[in-house]
Structures are given as C-alpha cells and as structure tokens.
Structure 1
Amino acid sequence: MVNLINHILKIMKKYQKSTIISTTSNGKFKPTDPLPDLTVSKLGSLFIISDDCEGQEIIFKSFAFGKKINNIFILSPYEVMFLKQIQCNMNLKENETQLWKHCCSFFGPSIFPIHYAIYHFFRCRYWVVRDGSIFGAIFVLYIDHPDQVHSKYTVSLINDWDQVTEIAPSITRVDWAIRKSRILVKVNVPTDSNFDDPSCISNFTIEAICVKRIKVS
C-alpha cells in the first residue's frame, strides 16, 4: 500500500515544468490513508471496479476517485492513469506505457495527453477533478470531497490567450448561472513531443487564469 500525498509530491517533482498563472489557490483534498488494492476490468474506454472489490468503497470515500453509474463503479481513463502513476496496486497487466497507449486510443493523437496533463496538474494540487461536460467544460474542480462540497471551478482548454475577450462573456454568463468560476487553461506542447510516451507531459507548460463575472451595483 502507498500513501497518496507522498507519491503526488514525487510526481510533482518529475513534472516540474508545469506552471500556473492565476490567483487560484490549491485545493484542500489531502487524504493520508494508504491506497487500497484494486481489481479493475476494462469496458471500452472505461474501467470498472467490481462490487466484490474491497477497495471500491475506499477509493471513492477516502480518495474521491470514480463514481457509480447505473450501479456500475467506473473509473475514467484519467483516473486510472493517475492511479497507475502514483503506484496504486491494480490488477491491470499493462505497464504504464501500455496503459497510456490504451487510453490514447480512444481519443485523437494529442487529445488524451493534453487533457491528462490538465487533470494531472490540478489533481497534484489537491483538487478533486471530475468530468465537466455537463457544464460545457473539460473538467470541474472540487476543493474537497464531492460528498462534502459543490464544485468550485469549471475548466476549459484555450488555444490562444487572444480568444479570452471573445469567449469570456458567454462562458462567464453560464458560470454565473451555476455559481462557478471558469479556469481557462493553455497547454504549451513542444513540437517534437512523443505522444506515445506518458513522460511527454513533463515537457508541457500549463498556463491558467481564472475568469469570472462580478456583480456591479
């Protein structure tokens, strides 16, 4: 069994090129329990933890990974890859590179690496990161366990900072209605990146700003 915080600190050193430009603070979700052993099976682009696996409840309640959909406990490709990198003991036969390629196969050539880099960036900063498609975003961020708090930020990918003035009015209008703020993220990817190698994200640079609408009286 391994400690989540210790391994997060290790991989943060490994991927030290990621940086943030924002007033947004780190999250507060810092579980200290040892990670459980997990029995994981693959179902298309999803990963399933069976109900007879003792680690299922622990990985959600103590570590906020996964969710149940129609009574099936599902881990996203981002979550499984992150758990693999922090050395959670799973029964998957693939090594880190093989698992990475499997996850990439369900997306465009660069999509999973870029999206995973964003997931990895915020999860390493103690945010709980969940799918944000229901809000028109890539991810949503919870400052603590989702059972305890509502999500605080939506996260969207942007290609160029010149786009901000164009898209800010519409996204902040949506986020105002759902009481969240938007984090816009730009991922700078070197042209010689090898997307077949999970370590490629160590050369990505992540820039992020928080955009929100304020009420003027």
Structure 2
Amino acid sequence: MGARWKGKGSEIAAASDPMSRIVANLQSSLIQSETCGLLSGCAVLIGAMPELTGLLNRSCFGRSVVTADADKQWFQLSLEEAFYLSHDLKCLKIIGEDKCPKSDDELWLYMKSKKTMFPDFYKAYSHLRTKNWVVRSGSQYGVDFVAYRHHPALIHSEYAVVVSSEGASNESPRLKIWSDIHCTIRLCGSVAKTLLVLNIKKNDHDTSSPSCLEKFDVGELIIKRWNPERCREDQQTIGNDKSKSPI
C-alpha cells in the first residue's frame, strides 16, 4: 500500500533525522548514563531524565507510565524491546527482582518463562528493528506487531505483522486455517495495512540460550487480497459484445 505520511513536511522531517541516527544516539546516551532497567513481571521499567526521555520517545522504545516520582519519567519496555537494548545494542543493564544484574542467558530464560514463544517473537522483532523499522504492538489490530518506516507521529504503520513458527502448530496457531487468513487480510485491508507474515525457522536448534538466534532463519511473506477488478478485460470491449458475460 506504500507509505502514508501524516501532513506536509513529514517525509522531509523523517529523511533529515533517520531512525538509525536516533537509535544510535539513544544507545550512546544509555551507555554514558549507565541506565538500568528493572524487571517487573512481563515488562522492564526504566527511569529516565529529560534527555533520555526525549530519545526514548523519538526512537519509539517503551511507553511512558505515570508514577509519583517527580524527578524521573518512567518507561515500560516490552520483553522484546528490553532484550534488544540489552543483547543487541548492549546499552542497557537489567536488574532482576533480587536487585542483581542479569546476564543475557539469565534474561533469556526469564523471558522465555514469561512468554512461551519469546524466541520467535524476539527474532521477528529484532529482524525488523535492525532494518530500522519502528516496531510496536499490533494487538489493537489483531496481529503481533505493526511496523512503521519512521516515528508514528510522522507516518502511519505500513505492515501488520504476524509471527509464525515453522513446525510448531500447537504453539503458533495463527493463519493455519483459511478462515483466519481471510479475516486477518480483510482486517488489514480495512485499516490500510499490508499483511506481513514472518516465518521463524529454528532449524532444530536448542533455544536454551540466546546464541540460538544466530541459527534462526526468517522468511518474509506478504499476503494480499486478490482484486478481481484488476483482472477483468477492458469494460468497453465487453460492453460491445452482448453475448459475453461481464463476470
């Protein structure tokens, strides 16, 4: 469906401040400030000063939460966002409920315990983030993620993303039957998004540590509705031949 920018100047503003640069600035700021995240159930909390708050907002990591702390703005990161900052960008230390810093392996096991398909969802999330797409939850559209070319204030999300795990039908039942495919495609069409299925192929590798991510493959599949109007013969030609049905 292509990019749908919000208002005049949005595309120019995005081009002048690419997401790769914003994320690099966030990475540098987190390292310099030695900011730590706090594990809290199925999320990670970050307390941010004004400069870091601006970078988190501009890079679209986490969502701000209201607290009684007047000195800091708190952000709630999803498990995928937190692990991406910790494991891929290596700019965020995460502290557990026992007040001790967690290693990548410890975080991996913790997040798997909270979300059965975390390895698949994380691989899909990091696959898009490393390509400089902004990735947000797609729950309001009945999908796993939505992907933006830049900040949601400048552009509408372009892709509705469904994560599928090869050979794991019990864990990943999405799009396994025609009715589910049909409903999802119709929904995507009604909100002007393209359905993108990311198929995670584990290649029979053990998922007990994050090192397995290097062995995973990601297949990208775009699914669209067939529009019969685009396949019809020229209407004028059909109209001149009364013996032919227009269908």
TM-score of the two chains, using structure 2 as the length reference? 0.67
From the superposition, tell whether residues 150 and 178 of structure 1 become closer, same or farther in structure 2 (CA, over 3 Å).
Answer: same
From the superposition, tell whether residues 164 and 202 of structure 1 become closer, same or farther in structure 2 (CA, over 3 Å).
Answer: farther
> In 1, Cα distance between the equivalents of 2:166 and 2:212?
21
From the superposition, tell whether residues 180 and 198 of structure 1 become closer, same or farther in structure 2 (CA, over 3 Å).
Answer: same
Q: Which residue is 2:61 aligned to?
A: 65
Same amino acid, percent of matched pairs: 23
Larger radius of gyration: 2
- Secondary structure at the aligned position of 1:185 is classed as strand
1:55 counterpart = 2:52: yes
1:135 counterpart = 2:145: no
Contact 1:49–1:56 (Cα < 8 Å) also in 2: no
Post-superposition shift, 1:53?
Answer: 7.1
From the superposition, tell whether residues 185 and 151 of structure 1 become closer, same or farther in structure 2 (CA, over 3 Å).
Answer: same
5+ long unaligned stretches in structure 1: 1-27
Query: How do 1:112-151 and structure 2 match up within 5 A?
Result: 112-151=118-157
> In 2, Cα distance between the equivalents of 1:66 and 1:182?
24
1:30 counterpart = 2:30: no
From the superposition, tell whether residues 87 and 180 of structure 1 become closer, same or farther in structure 2 (CA, over 3 Å).
Answer: same
Give per-residue Cα distances to partners, 1:166-214, cap 9 Å, x unaligned: 64422111011111110012111122x2222101111111111112236
Q: Which has the higher helix share?
A: 2
> In 2, Cα distance between the equivalents of 1:113 and 1:159?
10
TM-score of the two chains, using structure 1 as the length reference? 0.75
Cα root mean square deviation, aligned: 2.5
> In 1, Cα distance between the equivalents of 2:119 and 2:85?
16
5+ long unaligned stretches in structure 2: 1-17, 68-73, 96-100, 168-174, 231-247
From the superposition, tell whether residues 56 and 211 of structure 1 become closer, same or farther in structure 2 (CA, over 3 Å).
Answer: same
From the superposition, tell whether residues 91 and 136 of structure 1 become closer, same or farther in structure 2 (CA, over 3 Å).
Answer: closer
> In 1, Cα distance between the equivalents of 2:188 and 2:103?
39
